[in-house]
Structures are given as C-alpha cells and as structure tokens.
Structure 1
Amino acid sequence: MTLIKSISGIRGTIGGRAGEGLNPLDTVKFVSAYAAFIRENVKNSSNAIVVGRDARISGKMMEQIVVGTLMGMGFDVVNIGLATTPTTELAVAMENAAGGIILTASHNPKQWNALKLLNEKGEFLNAKEGEEVLKIAESEEFLFAHVDHLGKVKEKDYTDKHIQAVLGLELVDVEAIKAADFEVAIDCVNSVGGIVLPKLLKALGVNKINELYCTPNGEFPHNPEPLPEHLKDISDMMKTTSSDVGFVVDPDVDRLAIISENGDMFGEEYTLVAVADYVLKHTPGNTVSNLSSSRALRDVTRRYGCEYNAAAVGEVNVTTQMKATDAVIGGEGNGGIIYPASHYGRDALVGIALFLSHMAHEKKKVSEIRASYPQYFIAKQKVELTPGLDVDGILKTVKEKFIQYDVTDIDGVKIDFPDKWVHLRKSNTEPIIRVYSEAHSMKEAEDIGGEIMEVIRQLAK
C-alpha cells in the first residue's frame, strides 16, 4: 500500500490500513484540511466547492466520502460526477466556486486514486498553498459544522458546457473540420474520455469515429499512460481502417497522444509542438514548456520571431511562467496543452480541436505534418546513489563543471549544449538522480546522458 502526500495533491493505493493508502480515514482528513484552507484563504462570496471524478473503480466510493466531508465542513458541493480534469477546472470558474477537488490518479494504474486540489480560479494550488494544506492535515485542526450549518449538494453535468466552450474558441475552425470530412480513431482507456471525446468530435463535424475502449468502467485494457509501448491496439486500428488521425487520452483527459494515419506515433513531445505551430501561425506570441520538454517548441517558436521560455517541471510552474511572459500557448512534453484563451490547465479537448483545425488548414497527412518539425529524441535514464550522499552538492559541482555552457538551475540542473541538452533532477522519494537528455538521434541523446552520468558517479565516490 502507498500514500504519497505532496504539494500537488494526495495520491495513493486503495485498500489496507489507514495511513498506508488513500483510504476513507485518510480521505476525510485531507479533504477536511483542504476545506479548512479554503475557508481561511479564499475570500470570494461563494460557499461552493466543485467535485468531479474520472471513471476509476474506486471513484464512486471516493466521491461519496469527499462530498460528505465537504458538507460536514459546511461547504455546499457542486457534484459534476464523471468529468475530465479540465472540465472540473472550467466548472470551478463557471460556478464562481471557492475551489474544486478532482478525484483522479491520472495515468496511474487502477488501484490508485488521488485528490487533486484547485483554487477559486480552477487552477492547481501552488507549492506554498499545498504545503499549508499538508500542515493543517498533520495538525488535524479543522472545525466541522454544526447541524444547522451543514452544506448542501447539487448535481450538474458540465461535459456539454466544456464542449461548447471549446467550440467557441476563435482558432477552432468547425467549418474547416466539417469540410475536411475526417475519419478519426480514439482510445479512451475505458474512462471519462469515452463519454466526452465522441461528443466533442461529433460537435466538431466528425461523423466517422472508430472507438476503442470507450466504456467508462475504470477497467483499463492497457497501461493507462499514453506511451508508445501501450498503444499497439490503436496503432493496429489505424492500419486496418481509413482513419486520418488517432487520438489517445489518459483516464482524466488532460494528456493527448496523436497517432499518424499509418499507425506511427506522432510523439508525445510533438503534441504541444504541432498545436503551438497552429496557434503561433494565427496569433504570434510567447510560448512556455518545462525544462524536460523538447527543444522543438523553442525552434518552432523562433520560426515565428517569438520568444520561448522554460519553467520548472510541474503544471503550476508552467502556468505561472506563462502568465509572467504573457504566453499564447504552453504546456508539457507529455502531451499536455495549456491554452490561455480557454483556461490555464492541460486540456486534451482543446488540443484535439486545435489539432484538427491545423490538419484542415494544412491539408496534409498527419505524418507529413510531423515531418515538418525538427527531429529530436529524448533519452530518460537515472543514476542510483548511496543513501545519505549530498545530492544537492553533487548537482552544484556538475553545474560548476559545465558553467561555460548555458546552465539553468531553477529545477535541478539543465545544461544546454549547442545541439543537445541534459537535465538532472533529484528524486524526492529515493536516492537517485533522473537524467533526461535530448539530441538529434537517440544514440546521441543516450551518449551525452551517459557522459553526465559518469561525471555524477565519479563525484559520488
């Protein structure tokens, strides 16, 4: 059993003893702490908190506990039921609510669930706010409401409202998509994507939809993280149908993977690159991704004479940097699209609508669009260290050793060489340093990563 308490939320496995997983007692404690934090820190006029969930097997149980706890803390609850993460984020803003809780463990296997915590804007709590919630939970200093002040609950469905918000975006060209008469394949891993993606595509004028795993029962037919090694079924479907493009989402639909018409992976790093290309073509401006994302976004941004900026890893860090630089598009290299014209959150629905608009305008095959971007490969490796070693000291020495290059230390150490980069990040849970590297071939990426790993090993002796 596992329980992980972090500033970005509380996640854990279901079952076992209290304190060893995300079980009913633990859920009540952390939801109560969040409610106490909202009561103290959010000063808008609302007494409502939005709750949405993905289709995990444990979702209904968690929903009932969370809703009841919030009512017990004196908050009214807007329960939107089965809903994507971006739908829940939008619902908080549309309801003018005081906050929101999303019940999803994102791409983790079915035994996991999580509490993802939102502020009154429908955005994730920042590091300081997350720390405060954890402190309140540890102290258990929360005050439950008396019987005359218990909260009330109302149920709403925000899926259609989300879709209409996507259709209303200026750069979503519904007429062009309809005219293109696309055939689209989708893999929704038997979660909430199976509810929303068919509806979205039909609203966009796509009438030929090949559905794979669209029953929202939480029985994931493959590892739910949308990585190439998990997507053989939809790749095969692309080869046996006349689909123009394939879309794959994770269980809470904030990540988007794209499959080319020939069954090849578009590459999760290139979801953001392609959508940014379309957005910049029509609305030039700044872009942002995290330090571990592909350099291809920087290259495409500069093609339009615009400025690219990097943020520390983590969605809240990306959105903070996007606001600071007035970015028109941003996100993460895991297929996360953040489009401020919609909202500051990763949203696969927005990504699909913008990518289909891009396809309709370009009048090219998906494989041809992919070939138009700089070719990069990312290698992901790690160095295991002896417990007790001064990891921060090792990273500082590495930074000094490569100071003649462009070095960034806002999140670990990233070394930008002229034609490649290496990003070193220490794990917060185990004695390892994660080593991400990118170059124009996988061998080059692995080689430069290996060189830095050897430097680390020498320093660790």
Structure 2
Amino acid sequence: MKFSGSSGVRMVWGEELLNLAYQIGMSMGNEYDDIAIASDFRATSDPIVSMIAGGIMASGTSVYYGGKVPTPTLAYATKNHDAGVMVTASHNPPEYNGIKLWNPDGSAFSDEQIEKLQGRNIAKWSKVGRFFEENMLEEHRKALLKEFKAIDLNVVIDCSNGAGSVLTPFILRDLGINVTTLNCHPSGLFSGHSSEPSEENLMDLKNMIMAKKADLGIAHDGDADRFVAITSSGRYLNGDLILAIFAKVLGYGRIVAPVDSSRLLENFAEVIRCKVGDANVSRVMREKGIEFGGENSGTQIFASWRYTPDAIYAALKFAEIAAREDIDALLQDFPVYHTLRKNIYYRNREEMEQKIENFVKDYPVQRVDGYRVDLDDGWFLIRFSGTEPKVRITVEFESQELASIWMSKIYQALSK
C-alpha cells in the first residue's frame, strides 16, 4: 500500500486499513517522543484512532488526543508536539477513511519522511506511552480570532456535514458575521451531499444565497482543508479563481501552484510550478521563501499563518476581502480560460507511457509532474494517478473549441 505525503493513505474501510494504522502508529512512536492525534467524523474514525494510538503507546511514546476536529485544527495543534496524525479521508465517500501525517510547522509529511518510518520496537511494559486529551479546537479558535477583526457581512456556509461544522460557523459569528448554515451538523455519512465541494454539490448553497440575498457563500469539504466560494450573484468560484483573487487583492508577486493549475494565475503573479499535492506546495514555498500558494482543488496556504491548507483561515481571509470588494465586479476583468479534464484507465503502464511519449515527442515538455506542454494559447497536462491505474488529462485554452479539439486529440491517441 503506497503512503504518500501529498494525500497520505486513503482506502475503503477494512482489515488492511486497521493493520496499516497500527503499523503507522508503531513507526511514528519509534521516531517521535510525543504525538498529537485527532480525527474527522467518519463512522470508522474511532477504531482507526484506537489502532494508531495503541501502536504509538506500545512503542513508548505518549499520545495527545484532540477529539473530532477539522484537519487544520490538528495541524495547528502539532506545533506543540513532535508530529501529528490525522485520521480522515478528506473529500472521499463515507466508506473510505485514511491517515495523514503532519510536521510542527503545519506542513504534511514528505515522501522522504514517510520512507524513514520503519521502526517496530515495542517498549517494556513499564515504559509504554500514556494517553492524554487536549482541547485543540479551542486553541485553534483563539489563535484565529487574534488574526481577524470584526467583519460586517451576510454569509451562508455549507460544511458538507464535515468537521468544519464544529468551528467555521461559530468563528464567523464570533467575528460579527450574520451566518446562515447548511449541512453544518457533523455526519460521517455526509447526508446533505457528498463531501466534495464541487459546483454540482452546492446548488442548495447557491439557492440559499439568492434567497437570503447574502454577500457570500462559503463551502468546505469533509475535513475542512478545502475552501471554495459562491458570490452574491450565485457564481461558483473554484480553487484557481480563489487563488487568483488572493494574489491580485493581497498583492502576492510570486505564488506556488501545481502543474495542473490554471494559466489564469500567471496574469496576477509569477507562478512557481510544483508537483500536485499540498505537501509539495508547502515544501516549495518554504524552500523559495514564497508567502502564498495553493491548488485548484480548493486548498490555500498562507506562510505567515502556517504551512497548512487551513480552509477556515482562508475563508476568513476571503470574507475580509468580500466585505470591502465587490467580488463579481472584480472578476469582470479576469481573462476567461476553458478547462477540460478526463481520465483514461490502462492495463499496462509501460504501454501507456510509450503512448504518451510518442504523443508529446514533438512538443516542449515540462516533467515537473507528468507531461505538461505549454503552447501559445493554452496548455495540456498528462499525468499518472498515484492511487489508481489511470492517467489524468487536463487541457486549458482561451478558446472552448480549441480545448475540445486538443482533448479529443489526446484522448484518441492514448485510447488506441
């Protein structure tokens, strides 16, 4: 089972996941002296937490348990510990669960850090670790409140029945915002809609914004490491648009974004491209001293806060902007790009690699992560999935027609 820094491990609930949880706990306990741990509200989170905590304590290390909280809350609490472990499958369906590891600076573990986790030594009976509880949620709330002043705004928020439900609506109200909630009661079944904050899943949010004549709509995924927005006119803002707005309004001259992010960003900042995954974004930000970065999936990272995709902090930062700027008017000057995405499953990876190599051989290819080709009026990216036997194709052009032509051309070449 591959465990990567970009997304940790995510898989359908079962014995394999439980066994892996214990192994990770043992390995973490052999490497670190005290470890923070928490989970989201998925139905299977408690037994996974128990297995991880058992492995950590069996190795002689103490556990500091924060309960059921958003992922950025656990990541924030990790600053007081040697490492953090979050049990979550983020935006995946409810039958999934997973594990993600965190550093004290708020960044996710790199692949190199994970490869070093090999220890399996069990402590003597008199040296096993202890189990402590910690109010991580209150610490995160107080820290956020110190960062923001009162905001005069009418907001509708949809937390996707996820972990953000226990923090974001409350802190918005703490700041004087008039809040209407949708799907803000935690449920491991994500009963309102699936935990992915995509446009099609947020139609109720859009309708409520219009009915309430609200200034802004805010949405999170299942563990609140993603933030997307809907404007007062009902326009859905994906991750790339939000990154572009932050870059323009807050004046970031350089930002970090993965290879699958829109060229739109280049209209407002110098874009340093990296591999897909928030761990890769934060790593490049640290290495190059860049203050801001994020992904088109809806993650935003502010170095002055933490190297964590903290969607609660990002939502508050965006609310500040919405209180003083007309977001719809701001977007009128943004150039329009047409983006298409498709997947192709394969049986033989070597054969698929050869097909890709043949297709891109006459183009200038960037190999940061997959095969990205930049053309005068657009670009395309072909990259292998890290979790499934498929390639992901992304094309983006100023012309909708050209985007369709290039997608058809690539899809046909790789489907033969």
- TM > 0.5: yes
TM-score grouping bracket, smaller chain normalisation: over 0.9
2-structure distance, mates of 1:111, 1:341? 36
Confirm whether residue 126 of structure 1 aligns to residue 110 of structure 2: yes
**Paired residues of 2:352 and 2:414 also in contact (CA < 8 A):** no
Taking structure 1 as reference, are residues 52 and 386 closer, same or farther at Cα in structure 2, changes over 3 Å only?
closer
Report matched runs for 1:237-316 at 5 Å: 237-280=208-251, 284-301=252-269, 307-316=270-279
Letter in 2 for 1:416: D
1-structure distance, mates of 2:120, 2:344? 42
Report matched runs for 1:89-104 at 5 Å: 89-93=75-79, 95=80, 97-104=81-88
Percentage identity across aligned positions?
Answer: 27
**Paired residues of 2:159 and 2:219 also in contact (CA < 8 A):** yes
**Paired residues of 2:105 and 2:306 also in contact (CA < 8 A):** no
1-structure distance, mates of 2:236, 2:161? 21
**Paired residues of 1:270 and 1:335 also in contact (CA < 8 A):** no
- Give the equivalent residue in structure 2 for 1:157: 135
Shift of 1:431: 4.4
Letter in 1 for 2:139: K
Taking structure 1 as reference, are residues 142 and 445 closer, same or farther at Cα in structure 2, changes over 3 Å only?
same
- Give the equivalent residue in structure 1 for 2:35: 49
Shift of 1:29: 2.1
Equivalenced residues, count: 414
Return 5+ residue gaps in structure 2 as ranges.
Answer: none
- Give the equivalent residue in structure 1 for 2:283: 320
- Give the equivalent residue in structure 2 for 1:115: 99
- Give the equivalent residue in structure 2 for 1:213: 183
- Give the equivalent residue in structure 2 for 1:392: 353
2-structure distance, mates of 1:443, 1:267? 22
Shift of 1:393: 3.4
Letter in 2 for 1:215: H
Letter in 1 for 2:319: L
Taking structure 1 as reference, are residues 431 and 112 closer, same or farther at Cα in structure 2, changes over 3 Å only?
closer
Shift of 1:197: 0.8
Confirm whether residue 35 of structure 1 aligns to residue 29 of structure 2: yes
Q: Give SS of 2:237's match.
A: coil
Letter in 2 for 1:56: R
Taking structure 1 as reference, are residues 161 and 275 closer, same or farther at Cα in structure 2, changes over 3 Å only?
farther
Confirm whether residue 434 of structure 1 aligns to residue 389 of structure 2: no
**Paired residues of 1:279 and 1:329 also in contact (CA < 8 A):** no
1-structure distance, mates of 2:334, 2:135? 39
Taking structure 1 as reference, are residues 391 and 64 closer, same or farther at Cα in structure 2, changes over 3 Å only?
same
Larger CA deviation: 141-150 vs 388-397: 388-397
Taking structure 1 as reference, are residues 398 and 409 closer, same or farther at Cα in structure 2, changes over 3 Å only?
farther
1-structure distance, mates of 2:360, 2:298? 29
- Give the equivalent residue in structure 2 for 1:43: none
Shift of 1:449: 2.1
The normalised TM-score by structure 2 is 0.93
**Paired residues of 1:99 and 1:121 also in contact (CA < 8 A):** no
Taking structure 1 as reference, are residues 161 and 417 closer, same or farther at Cα in structure 2, changes over 3 Å only?
same
**Paired residues of 2:254 and 2:290 also in contact (CA < 8 A):** yes
Return 5+ residue gaps in structure 1 as ranges.
Answer: 40-46, 302-306
Letter in 2 for 1:13: V
